[in-house]
């Protein structure tokens, strides 16, 4: 059963060393630091209801190139931390020529304790609509094994690239984009409820 927890709410006894994000220990008890969802039978883990994107190594995100430097680019990744994309000196892979204002997908290569974030594998995105949703709702847009993503793509016909940082790139006919966006916003608002997949399916099928 899903439950809402609030900052300072006790979660149980502390019997593990590595604590998930948003869980802290005081004495021998664990507490939630976040306003979020827990599923107690699934262990101590909080899904925050909101929060800005914090870069995780391996995540694919959608960034906006801010500035070009001789060694690479500064990229906005919709996070309190800005990303740095270095141009590799020797590489077999094609590295695209980028300009400030370009929208790219990039992967988080590494990050350190003071918040420097290194990016890799850029790919330019052109001619679409960039939308932003709460990063905490992105897993729901993917769905189990990408099932929700496939559902939206197949029923509307849009091309969709979903960044873990809350940014989504949609490309297609205007009304297809509108349908897809409507479904995405619906997921964003109802992510904490049960039955979202079916409701979205009905919504998309009804729209057509």
Partner 1 sequence: MGGHNPGIKLLDKDGKRIDGRGLYDLRPIKMEIGVLKKADGSAYLEWGGNKVMAAVYGPKPVMPRHLANPYKAVLMYRYNMAPFSVDDRKRPGPDRRSIEISKISRDALERIVMTEYFPNTMIEIFVEILQADAGTRCAALTAASLALADAGIPMRDLVAACAAGKIDGKVALDLKKEEDNYGESDMPLAISPRTGDILLFQMDGLLTKEEYLESLHLALEGAKKVSEMQKKALKDKYKIETLGGEDDKV
Partner 2 sequence: MTKFEDEMLWNIKSDYVHRLAQQGLRVDERGQFDYRPIEIIPDYVTRPAGSAMVRMGNTTVIAGVTMDVGTPFPDTPDEGILITNAELVPLASPNFEPGPPDEDSIEFARVVDRGIREGQVIDLNKLSIEPGEKAWMVFIDLHVLDYDGNLFDAGALAAMTALNVAKVPKYEDEKIIREEVSMNMPIKRQVVETTFAKIDDFLVVDPVLDEEKSADARLTIATTDDGYICASQKGGPGPIKVDEIEQMIDLAFEKGDYLRKIMKDAIKK
In contact, 51 and 40? CB cutoff 8 Å: no
Interface mask (CB under 8 A) for partner 2, residues 2-41, using x and -?
A: ----------------------------------------
What is the CA angle 58-59-65, rounded to 5? Answer: 115
Distance CA 162, CA 111 (A): 21
Query: Residue 22 binds which entry of partner 1, partner 2, none, with Cβ cut-offs from 5 to 8 Å by kind?
Result: partner 1
49-58 b/e with 16+ CB inside 10 Å = b?
beeebebeee
For position 12 contacting partner 1 by CB under 8 A, the verdict is no
Which of 70, 92, 94, 174 binds partner 2 (CB under 8 A)? It is 174
Binds 107, which of partner 1, partner 2, none (CB < 5 to 8 A, cut-off by type)?
A: none
Q: What does the per-residue mask of binding to partner 1 show for 122-161, with x meaning CB under 8 A? A: --------------x--xx--xx-----------------
Alpha carbon distance 45, 38 (integer Å): 6
Give the whole-angstrom CA distance, residue 140 versus residue 183: 11
Q: Between 2 and 123, whose beta carbon lies closer to partner 2? A: 123
| Residue from 38, 77, 103, 183 binding partner 2 (CB under 8 A) | 103
Among 48, 51, 128, 143, indicate the residue that binds partner 2 (CB under 8 A). Answer: 128
What's the closest the beta carbon of residue 90 comes to partner 2, in angstroms? 30
CA distance 113 to 63: 21
- Of 7, 3, 42, 1, the C-alpha closest to 24 is 7
Q: Which does 139 bind (CB under 5 to 8 A by kind): partner 1, partner 2, none?
A: partner 1
For residue 3, state whether it binds partner 1 (rule: CB under 8 A). yes
Which one, 37 or 54, has the nearer CB to partner 2? 54
Strands 167-171 and 129-132: antiparallel
Report in angstroms the alpha-carbon separations of 97 from 68, 73, 74, 116, 117: 10, 10, 13, 23, 20
Binding site for partner 2 (CB under 8 A): 64-66, 76, 100-101, 103, 127-130, 174, 178
């Amino acid at each position: 059963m899903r439950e809402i927890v609030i900052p300072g709410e006790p979660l149980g006894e502390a019997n593990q060393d590595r604590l998930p994000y948003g869980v802290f220990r005081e004495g021998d008890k664990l507490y939630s630091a976040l306003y979020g969802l827990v599923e107690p039978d699934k262990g101590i883990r909080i899904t925050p209801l909101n929060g800005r994107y914090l870069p995780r190594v391996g995540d694919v995100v959608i960034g906006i190139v801010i500035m070009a430097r001789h060694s690479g680019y500064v990229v906005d990744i919709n996070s309190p931390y800005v990303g740095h994309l270095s141009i590799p000196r020797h590489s077999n892979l094609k590295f695209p020529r980028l300009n400030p204002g370009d929208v790219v997908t990039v992967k988080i290569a590494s990050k350190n304790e003071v918040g420097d974030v290194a990016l890799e594998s850029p790919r330019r995105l052109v001619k679409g609509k960039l939308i932003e949703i709460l990063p905490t709702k992105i897993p729901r847009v993917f769905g189990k094994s990408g099932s929700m993503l496939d559902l939206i793509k197949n029923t509307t016909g849009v091309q969709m690239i979903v960044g873990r940082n809350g940014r989504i790139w949609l490309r297609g006919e205007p009304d297809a984009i509108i349908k897809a966006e409507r479904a995405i916003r619906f997921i964003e608002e109802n992510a904490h409820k049960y039955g979202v997949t079916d409701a979205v399916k009905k919504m998309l099928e009804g729209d057509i």
